[in-house]
Amino acid sequence: MGSSSAQKCGRAKLGELVDERSDIFAEVPIGSNLKDFSKFLLAVAVENYCGWQSSTKLLLWMRVGVLLQESFCSEFYILGMKPWVHYIPFDYEMKTWTRNIEWAQSN
C-alpha cells in the first residue's frame, strides 16, 4: 500500500501544531468542561468530523477570542458573522494559524 497524499487538517493537524509550539499553545481534551477554557484568552474551533465544528457555538458565548478554521461545512449562524470582527479566521490547511494567533495576542 502506498502512502496517502491526503493532508492533515482539523483536530489531527491541531495536535501537531500544539506540539510544535507548546510555548504558546495548550490543548484542552475533548469532553472537557467549559470552565476549563476560562483560563485562556483564545480558543480554537477546528473541524472534527467531515468539516463539522461542534464547539464553535459554545466558544462564541464565552469571554474568549475565537479562532475559527475556514471550512466547507458551517452552521447557519456562521453566515451572519464577519471575519476579524466576530472571530479570527485561519485557513483550512492551517498555514496561517500561528501568524493569526500572534496577531490576536498583540491586539
Q: What are phi and psi of 83, to 5 degrees?
A: -60, 145
- Segment 59-70 shows an average pLDDT of 84
Can you tell me the mean pLDDT for 76-80? 86
What does the DSSP 8-state code read for residue 41? S
* pLDDT score at 87: 92
Residue 69 has pLDDT above 80, yes or no: yes
pLDDT band with cut points at 50, 70 and 90 for residue 2: very low
CA distance linking residue 14 with residue 3, whole number of Å? 21
How confident is the prediction for the chain on average, in pLDDT? 77
Q: Note if the pTM is more than 0.85.
A: no
C-alpha cell at 99: 501568524
Give buried/exposed letters for 55-74 (b at 16+ CB in 10 A, else e). Answer: bbeebbeeebbbbbbebeee
Of 37, 46, 40, residue with least CA distance to 17: 46
